[in-house]
Amino acid sequence: MKLLVTGGLGFIGSNFILKTLHENEGFDIVNVDAELAGSNIKNLSQVKNLENYEYVKGNITNRKLMEDLIKNCDVVVNFAAESFVDRSINDANPFLVSNIRGAYTILDIITKQKKRMIQISTDEVFGSLSNETATEESKFNPSSPYAATKAAAELLINSYFTTFNSDVVITRCTNNYGPRQFAEKLIPKTIILAHHDKKIPIYGNGKNVRDWIYVEDHCDAVLSTLNHGKSGESYNVSANNEIDNITVVRKILEIMNKPDDLIEFVEDRPGHDLRYSLDSTKISDQLGWKVKSSFEEGLEKTVQWYLDNPELLNNVSSAILDSTPWKNTN
């Protein structure tokens, strides 16, 4: 099977490519990436010379390029997205372009060429939840510009299935963590700052709850939907690890033998959702997908990976040091 993976130099996309090529036979992968924020060409250095891997630099909004690439593949797995919520608060336009226009470009082409599309979405489309857990039938209620663009892409994809019977499947995942994550995200940022004994900013009171999943478990779920997912369906992907941000940071500090006084509470960002929660019963029951890594195991592996990669560990950029990046107007 020949896959076109978009955004494959990013965090989840690169882990998906590595895991798919290393653990499965019969896959050829073409990776198209625009090399924007979050992309790192070094993420895939270990597979760059494989015969069944090819890299193309390009943007998913480039229709001619995408028509040519999709023509020669069986399935498109769309990881490409602007995904940093703080940046969407500062400037939503790149999110509209990539997350809606880009998804539309792929969707329209796979419909005309009769190919299959796996859309990678997010639990953030459901917005902040109180005590409930979102199922695939729950109502969208996005809070951030980022989440709104991902919800819009899902609605567009569903409309194409209804109108044109497009071969489309949506996966909707909780917060990923693991190797190769964009350094401005909570877990890698905490590891990097703690290593350098610098203050670790925590928004508000740190009680915002996220449902954490190790990235390789998410990749397994995507592969399951690619092989067995029913067209027109969406699948929630969750590891049932609901943990608040302050607890996550303290666990990292404990693993790294660093003091809690590195924690610094800062102004909360606008519209910061309090809690996300997904029910992944459907993908478990229908496709047989199961979580393999506990949060503790995954977190220890993640910390060790950063400690083993000093080039990333020493990346103390101004963006890493910025305690309120959503205020940045640069």
Quote the tokens at residue 294: 């506990």
∠ CA 320-322-326, nearest 5°, is 110
Whole-angstrom CA distances from 215 to 44, 78, 207 are: 15, 16, 23
Q: Which of 53, 146, 214, 306 is catalytic?
A: 146
Residue 195 in contact with residue 319, Cβ under 8 Å? no
* 306 assigned to active site: no
* 214 assigned to active site: no
Length reported for the chain = 330
Q: Which of 33, 82, 86, 123 is catalytic?
A: 123
Q: Within a 13 Å sphere around the CA of 269, how many CA atoms are in the beta-carbon half?
A: 24
Q: Where are the alpha helices (DSSP H) in 72-214?
A: 85-90, 93-95, 103-113, 145-164, 186-195
Sign of the C-alpha dihedral computed for residues 128, 191, 38 and 26 taken in this order: negative
* 124 assigned to active site: yes
Whole-angstrom CA distances from 6 to 34, 62, 70, 239 are: 9, 12, 11, 24
CB atoms under 10 Å from CB of 93, counted, come to: 10
Name the residue among 66, 63, 161, 77 with its Cα closest to residue 111.
161
Q: Which of 124, 154, 216, 217 is catalytic?
A: 124
Beta bridge partners of 54: 30
* DSSP annotation of 123: G
Residue type present at position 120:
I
Active site residues per annotation: 123-124, 146
